[in-house]
């Protein structure tokens, strides 16, 4: 336990380069290249977190001011994921078990070819620990808690495997995936809803990724301008009550939020590019190492979802979701299916936008629709988990903020897979929230189960989600579609591709020969 705390205490910016360096050495990278890759990844990681910190410190207060403007007070306070993580690491009886068994499970699953993902993101093990802890606190059964955490870990690794092709293609990060529990467990639901939206007239043909918007609307849809405008709107909604008392201060706040969010849109993708500069040689080395020793096998490096947040679509959807989350919380509290006041985690909504936008290749409109559904589910699950989270906080000697009777967080509500696994054991707890809540939470579970089954069946039939259907999302309009099944001379499209592949093979053979 002491060693784990010491290791985590060093900080990701120190430990991640060390882990990457060790991995690079295992993958037989030249030492100079390994040092450069490790340091570049460290720098990229610091840069990403610095910009996310800036985003949180700008968007967070604005979102919280919006909450105050509503004048609503709900009994459960959203204390945010960092507090949930801190409380989780305070549950000392569980931490070492999940850490050691989780890492062992990952290695065993790779050895038996059950997964291709090596999860090097140790900080996010807190999600698995949290999963074990809430089941333990709700049922009093330690073994059940541990079992839920380990099964969750296996599910997350598998989901990361399935998500890898679309992540690598859409975000352009080779050899990487994100076994990040609170984001990737929503990928099957996002996939199913996105498929549903393919059948909705109007939305079906509405292509709205930042690139497509830019092509259509030019400079107005430039991510920097989009971020700035969205920032101004959020800030005006947050600080308008100050117009009468302190106009200068309000204008300053609005300028700060608007310009900062614009700058974040510009800087965050660059930081991810720096990280990638270090990751690409590592991924190449891993590929070479695996192919030499285990022909036909692949290995993905599992990292935090933060590396995907930098995409302009995710930031844009995350910002748009702030007022939507507040409205949802109010509406759902009236309907009796939510008791949590969103607060701290409003600043990290871009994380939850990842699997709302990725399947449609960054379609902002679809991202907002899917993200709204995600948030509605998360608010209810967070409400459901609030008593357990509060008990855990008491056990970890965490002081509950004044005015709140219970605590939880949107991120806690994002722990979908453990919630599904433990639902049967903890459902009776839902009775205290009334019949409406029971019906809604049962619907969430049923829909999640349906989505997972549909997703696994699709993959089981040999499809690659997000790749086989990408033609639906990557182009501007159906009118522009080119039917390549029959060329002008009547040749079959397969022949075209075969010709193309043969040409590529020829050229690469030629290149290799030239290199020799």
Partner 1 sequence: MIDAMLDVLLGHFWRTFVSLYTGSFAWFVVPLTAWMVLMIVARRAPAVAESRIRAALRALGADGGRLSGAALVARLQPEVVQVALHYRLMPSPSGFWVRRCDPEQLARVCNLNPKSLAEMRDEVLHVSRAPGADRTVIKAKAAGR
Among 200, 431, 457, 484, binds partner 1 (CB under 8 A): 484
Shortest distance, CB of residue 299 to partner 1, whole angstroms? 12
CB atoms under 10 Å from CB of 461, counted, come to 7
Among 28, 68, 297, 486, binds partner 1 (CB under 8 A): 486
Residue 214 near partner 1 by CB under 8 A:
yes
Query: By rule CB under 8 A, what string of x and - marks binding of each residue 103-132 to partner 1?
Result: --------------------x---------
Shortest distance, CB of residue 424 to partner 1, whole angstroms? 32
Query: Which residue lies nearer to partner 1 by CB, 143 or 478?
Result: 478
Residues 6+ apart with CB under 8 A from 326: 63, 66, 67, 70, 342, 346
In Å, how far are 29, 70, 406, 412, 506 from 85, measured between CA atoms?
A: 35, 28, 16, 9, 53
Query: Which residue lies nearer to partner 1 by CB, 41 or 348?
Result: 348
Cα–Cα distance measured from residue 98 to residue 132, given in angstroms and rounded to the nearest whole number:
8
Residues 6+ apart with CB under 8 A from 40: 274, 275, 277, 278
Residue 78: strand pairing partners: 408
Q: What one-character DSSP code corresponds to residue 416? A: H
Burial label, 432 (beta-carbon count in 10 A; 0-12, 13-18, 19+): exposed
Query: By rule CB under 8 A, what string of x and - marks binding of each residue 160-199 to partner 1?
Result: -----x--xx----x-------------------------
User: Which range binds partner 1 by CB under 8 A, 26-34, 144-152, 186-194, 341-349?
Assistant: 341-349
- Asked if 263 and 59 count as a contact pair (C-beta separation under 8 A), the reply is no
Query: Which residue lies nearer to partner 1 by CB, 114 or 485?
Result: 485
> Looking up tokens 């989270």, which residue turns up?
389
Residue 400 near partner 1 by CB under 8 A:
no
Query: By rule CB under 8 A, what string of x and - marks binding of each residue 257-296 to partner 1?
Result: --xx-xx--xx-xx--x-----------------------
Specify the 3-state DSSP secondary structure of 77. strand
For residue 84, give the H/E element and its range.
helix 81-90
User: Which range binds partner 1 by CB under 8 A, 321-329, 424-432, 442-450, 498-506?
Assistant: 498-506
Across 86-225, where does the E strand assignment appear? 117-119, 176-177
Count interface residues toward partner 1 (CB under 8 A): 77
Specify the 3-state DSSP secondary structure of 398. coil
Query: Which residue lies nearer to partner 1 by CB, 54 or 147?
Result: 54
Q: Which two tokens stand for residue 334?
A: 């009236």
Under rule CB under 8 A, which residues in 440-479 are in contact with partner 1? Answer: 464, 467-471, 474-475
Among 344, 357, 380, 390, binds partner 1 (CB under 8 A): 344
Among 399, 402, 483, 514, binds partner 1 (CB under 8 A): 483
Under rule CB under 8 A, which residues in 10-49 are in contact with partner 1? Answer: 11-13, 46, 49
- Tell me which residue of 147, 125, 144 sits closest to 136, measured CA to CA: 144
Query: Which residue lies nearer to partner 1 by CB, 83 or 369?
Result: 83
Residue 64 near partner 1 by CB under 8 A:
no
């Amino acid at each position: 336990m002491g060693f784990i705390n010491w290791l985590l205490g060093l900080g990701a910016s120190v430990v991640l380069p060390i882990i990457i360096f060790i991995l690079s050495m295992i993958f037989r990278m030249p030492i100079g290249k390994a040092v450069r890759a490790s340091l570049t990844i460290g720098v990229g990681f610091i840069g990403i977190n610095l910009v996310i910190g800036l985003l949180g410190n700008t968007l967070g207060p604005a979102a919280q001011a919006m909450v105050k403007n509503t004048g609503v007070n709900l009994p459960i306070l959203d204390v945010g994921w960092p507090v949930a993580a801190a409380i989780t690491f305070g549950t000392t009886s569980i931490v070492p078990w999940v850490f050691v068994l989780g890492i062992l499970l990952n290695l065993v699953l790779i050895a038996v070819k059950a997964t291709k993902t090596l999860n090097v993101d140790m900080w996010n093990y807190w999600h698995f620990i949290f999963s074990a802890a809430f089941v333990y606190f709700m049922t009093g059964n330690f073994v059940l808690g541990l079992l839920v955490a380990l099964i969750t870990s296996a599910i997350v690794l598998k989901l990361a495997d399935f998500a890898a092709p679309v992540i690598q293609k859409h975000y352009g990060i080779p050899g990487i995936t994100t076994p990040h529990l609170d984001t990737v467990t929503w990928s099957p639901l996002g996939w199913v809803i996105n498929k549903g939206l393919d059948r909705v007239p109007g939305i079906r043909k509405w292509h709205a990724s930042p690139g497509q918007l830019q092509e259509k609307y030019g400079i107005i849809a430039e991510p920097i301008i989009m971020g700035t405008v969205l920032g101004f709107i959020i800030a005006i909604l947050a600080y308008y009550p100050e117009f009468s008392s302190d106009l200068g201060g309000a204008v300053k706040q609005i300028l700060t939020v608007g310009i900062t969010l614009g700058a974040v849109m510009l800087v965050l993708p660059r930081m991810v590019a720096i990280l990638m500069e270090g990751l690409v040689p590592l991924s190449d080395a891993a590929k070479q190492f695996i192919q030499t020793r285990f022909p036909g096998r692949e290995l993905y490096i599992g990292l935090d979802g933060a590396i995907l947040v930098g995409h302009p679509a995710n930031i844009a959807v995350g910002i748009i979701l702030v007022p939507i989350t507040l409205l949802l919380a109010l509406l759902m509290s009236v309907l009796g299916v939510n008791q949590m006041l969103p607060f701290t985690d409003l600043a990290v909504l871009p994380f939850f936008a990842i699997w709302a936008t990725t399947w449609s290749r960054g379609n902002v409109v679809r991202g907002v629709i899917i993200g709204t559904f995600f948030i509605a589910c998360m608010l209810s699950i967070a409400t459901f988990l609030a008593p357990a989270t509060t008990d855990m906080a008491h056990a970890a000697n965490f002081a509950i903020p004044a005015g709140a009777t219970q605590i939880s967080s949107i991120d806690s509500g994002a722990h979908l897979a453990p919630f599904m696994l433990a639902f049967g054991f903890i459902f009776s707890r839902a009775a205290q929230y009334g019949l409406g809540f029971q019906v809604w939470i049962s619907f969430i579970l049923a829909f999640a189960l349906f989505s997972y089954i549909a997703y696994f069946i699709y993959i089981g039939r040999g499809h690659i989600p997000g790749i086989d259907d990408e033609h639906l999302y990557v182009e501007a309009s159906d009118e522009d579609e080119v039917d390549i099944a029959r060329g002008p001379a009547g040749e079959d499209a397969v022949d075209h591709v075969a010709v193309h592949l043969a040409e590529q093979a020829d050229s690469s053979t030629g290149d290799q020969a030239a290199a020799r």
